[in-house]
Amino acid sequence: MTASAIGALALILVVAPLLPALAGRTVAFLTGRRGAPLLQPYRDLAKLLGKGAVYSRTTTGVFRLAPAVVLGAALVAAGLLPLDGRRGLAGFGGDMIAFAGLLALGRLLLALAGLDTGSSFEGMGASRELGFATFSEPALFLVLGALALATGESSLGGMLGAPLARAWARAPATLAMVGVSLGIVLLAEASRGPVDDPATHLELTMIHEVTILDHGGPDLGILLYGSALKFALFAALLAGTFLPRAAWPAPLAVAALLPALALVAILVGVIESAMARLRLVQVPHLLTGAAALAALGVVLRVR
């Protein structure tokens, strides 16, 4: 547990809500609009946390428990990630499996909370979220497998730490493919375009936004912050893959996180405004493509 790890964790917890805003602002800029101010998410969060709660009579304790689990799991996952490009707050051998498991826990509770409302809107969102995970999960694990083979490590701290810089010299093709694949997984996991449309919760596009349709007040605030944090975690994972910072001085490695996250958010915004949202049946194809790319990266390391 080092100062740099704590600093990086604090940084990402503070700036997480900025990322969706930055992506949205990029989309607005590219489509000739002005867009919401960057600090709007913080105002929204403050407003939501200050509101009273409204619950459907259909819902049970699962509905109330879900926001806590979603955010709690994301917070613990943040602790596992080597955000400072070194060891992370609490890394251990095999922590990448736990990282994926924690995000899966959040997804499960989100789906259960959606189904708890008894509404078909939420059911549809839950169904799609669970269905797409069937393809994004193998892609994520193939990415992790390729990273493990490229670096010879079996923990996030190793895969994204010092051995990564050497791996870039030895296996650049594998790591490049891993990066692209991870980027696609990010779009799906963070519910961004062209997989999901964060701006609407209309029937045709609804995935994440509609699953949380019945949540309001503090619950919605917690869920929105949780999903922003998930976006930030994947962005950090992506940034960490392309930018091995283990050899950098600690303050610089932590500070570099900020522009790296911003760059990922802007890229997501560019992709969202350059591409139409995919038809839902095509999303598995996209994710299978990501998995295939990572698998190719693995094949290059099989000998």
Interface stretch with another protein, choices 14-22, 24-32, 67-75, 253-261 (CB under 8 A): 67-75
| C-beta separation of 102 from 258 below 8 A | no
Mask of contacts with another protein, 90-109, x by CB under 8 A? x-xxxx-xx-xxx-xx-xx-
| Among the listed residues 32, 61, 169, 204, the single contact to another protein using CB under 8 A | 61
- Say what angle helices 217-242 and 172-189 make with each other, to 10 degrees: 170
Residues 221-250 that bind another protein (CB under 8 A): 222
Give min distance, CB of 257 to another protein, in A. Answer: 22
| 84 interacts with another protein by CB under 8 A | no
- Residue closer to another protein (CB basis): 14 or 54: 54
Q: How far is the CB of 61 from another protein (least distance, A)?
A: 8
Using CB under 8 A as the binding rule, the residues of this chain from 135 to 194 that contact another protein are 135-138, 140-142, 144-145, 148-149, 152, 154
**b/e per residue, 153-179, with b = 16+ CB within 10 A?**
bbbbbbbbbbbbbebbeebeebbebbb
Alpha carbon 217 to its chain centroid, in Å, reads 23
Q: Is 220 exposed, middle or buried (0-12, 13-18, 19+ CB in 10 A)?
A: buried
Closer residue to another protein in complex, CB, 147/271: 147
Q: Which of 42, 55, 242, 248 binds another protein (CB under 8 A)?
A: 55
Chain centre to alpha carbon of residue 83: 14
Q: Is 58 in the site for another protein (CB under 8 A)?
A: yes
200 lies in the site for another protein, by CB under 8 A: no
- Alpha helices (H) along 59-119: 61-80, 95-116
Token pair 């069937």 is at which residue?
134
Does residue 111 interact with another protein by CB under 8 A? Answer: yes
